[in-house]
Amino acid sequence: MMMTDRHQTDDDALDMEALDALLAEARALQSPPAPDLVARILADARAADLARHPPRAARRTSALTGLRGLIAALGGWPALGGLSAATLAGLWIGIAPPAALDSVVAQLWGDSVSVTLYPEDDLFGLEG
């Protein structure tokens, strides 16, 4: 039988009215706690907080602090190791690409263009 199918009897209604009256009386008797009790509770809470989380010593400001912050922002040493490996792999592939990559790049971007920054035979405009 479900709770909604149950019909309330007169005895149940009287019990609920008595309970409501008792709860209203208890609400009326509530008084705020004494100020010294509140102060003691807060002092105990502060002491427990300091015992659990002691204050740190003053931090030194140095260049190493900034580096530690950067490493922490990147995800710590394991993430920095992965980032270093990916950077070196990208540099290696950029400097000495595999032969198969040349044909793919040529199909995507077309022919490669080379730019000469200095003449082959005269580096600084000096003959000889």
- Which residues have CB under 8 Å from 77's CB, separation 6+? 71
34-77 pLDDT, tens digit per residue, is 999 999 999 999 999 999 988 877 666 665 677 888 888 888 89
Tokens 């209604």 belong to which residue? Answer: 13
pLDDT confidence tier of residue 33, bands split at 50, 70 and 90 = confident
Q: Angle 77-95/63-74 helices, nearest 10 degrees?
A: 80
Q: Where are the domains of the chain?
A: 76-109
- Which residues have CB under 8 Å from 93's CB, separation 6+? 101
